[in-house]
Structure 1
Amino acid sequence: MHSVTPRSRLAAIGFLAGALVLTAPGAAFADWPPADGTQGHTKQTGSSSAGTLTSKVTYSGSVRSRGSGGLSVQPVTDWTPPACWYEPRSVGDFKQYVESMYEETINTPGQANYAKAAVAEFRDIYKDGKYKDYNEKEADEGNWWVAVQNPDRVDDPASMECSKLPFWVENNDDPGVDQAVTPKILAEAAYNAIQLPETKVTLAPENVTKVKLATWAWLDKAKFSEVSVTASLDVAGLNIQATTRAKPVSLRLEPGTGDAETFPASGVCTINADGSIGEPFAKGKADQTPPCGIKYLRSSGDGTFKMKATITWQIDWTGSGGTGGDLPDGTFGATQEVTVQEIQAVNR
Structure 2
Amino acid sequence: MVRRGSVGVLVAMLLLAEPSVAYAEEGKGKGGFNGTDTQGGAKNNSVNAEVSHVRITGGGGKTKNTVKLNPKDPDWEAPACWYEPKTTPKELKERMDELKPKKPKKEEKEEKPILDPGTDATDLSNALLGQAKNVLDNYYQTDKYDNYNLDQQGKGMFWEGVRNPNKADDPASDKCSQHAIWVPEGKPPKDMPLAVSPKILAEYAYEELPIPGTDISLNPEDKQTVNLDTWVWLDKDKFKPVDVTASLDLEDGTHLSATTTAKPTSLTLEPGTDDAKMYPGSGKCVVKNGQLGEEYSAGKKDSTPPCGVRYLRASGQNGSYPLKATLTWDISWKGSDGTGGDLPSGTFSTTRNLTVKEIQSIVRD
Q: Given the two structures, how large is their TM-score scaled by the length of structure 1?
A: 0.78
Q: Does 1:194 align with 2:191?
A: no
Matched with 2:132 is: 119
**2:257 partner SS:** strand
Q: Deviations over 1:205-248 (max 9, x none)?
A: 00111122210001132121000010011124311111100011
1:48/1:96 contact within 8 Å kept: no
Distance 1:196-1:142 versus aligned 2 partners, 3 A rule:
same
- Structure 1 stretch 106-115 or stretch 118-127: which is displaced more? 106-115
Distance 1:130-1:63 versus aligned 2 partners, 3 A rule:
farther
How big is the shift at 1:106?
4.9
2:65/2:212 contact within 8 Å kept: no
Q: Which amino acid aligns with 2:276?
A: A
CA RMSD of superposed structures (Å): 3.2
Structure whose alpha-carbon radius of gyration is higher: 2
Out of 80, 92, 95, the residue aligned to residue 94 of structure 1 is 92
Q: Deviations over 1:278-320 (max 9, x none)?
A: 1111214334321100112222331332222111111111121
**1:168 partner SS:** strand
Distance 1:222-1:170 versus aligned 2 partners, 3 A rule:
same
Identity %: 43
**1:242 partner SS:** strand
2:257/2:336 contact within 8 Å kept: yes
- The unaligned stretches of length 5 or more in structure 2 are 1-7, 17-27, 38-51, 105-119
How big is the shift at 1:142?
2.0
Q: Does 1:79 align with 2:76?
A: yes
1:300/1:340 contact within 8 Å kept: yes
Q: Deviations over 1:147-203 (max 9, x none)?
A: 011111212211111222111112254412111111111111101111101211110
- Kindly report which structure 2 residues correspond to 1:1-348, keeping only aligned pairs within 5 A, or say none: 12-13=12-13, 47-48=29-30, 52=35, 54=37, 55-62=52-59, 70-77=66-73, 78-89=75-86, 90-100=88-98, 102-103=99-100, 106=102, 110-111=121-122, 112-113=124-125, 115-120=128-133, 121-171=135-185, 173-176=187-190, 177-235=192-250, 236-273=252-289, 275-301=290-316, 302-343=318-359
- Structure 1 stretch 167-176 or stretch 264-273: which is displaced more? 167-176
2:315/2:356 contact within 8 Å kept: yes
Q: Which amino acid aligns with 2:53?
A: K
- The unaligned stretches of length 5 or more in structure 1 are 1-7, 17-45
- Structure 1 stretch 223-232 or stretch 315-324: which is displaced more? 315-324
How big is the shift at 1:134?
1.8
2:225/2:359 contact within 8 Å kept: yes
Higher relative contact order (CA 8 A, sep 6+): 1
**1:95 partner SS:** helix
1:227/1:247 contact within 8 Å kept: yes
Distance 1:280-1:172 versus aligned 2 partners, 3 A rule:
closer
Distance 1:118-1:80 versus aligned 2 partners, 3 A rule:
farther
How big is the shift at 1:123?
4.4
2:85/2:186 contact within 8 Å kept: no
1:53/1:97 contact within 8 Å kept: no
How big is the shift at 1:250?
0.8
Distance 1:119-1:338 versus aligned 2 partners, 3 A rule:
farther
Question: How many residue pairs are counted as aligned between the two chains?
Answer: 307
Distance in 1 between residues matched to 2:271 and 2:226, nearest whole Å: 13
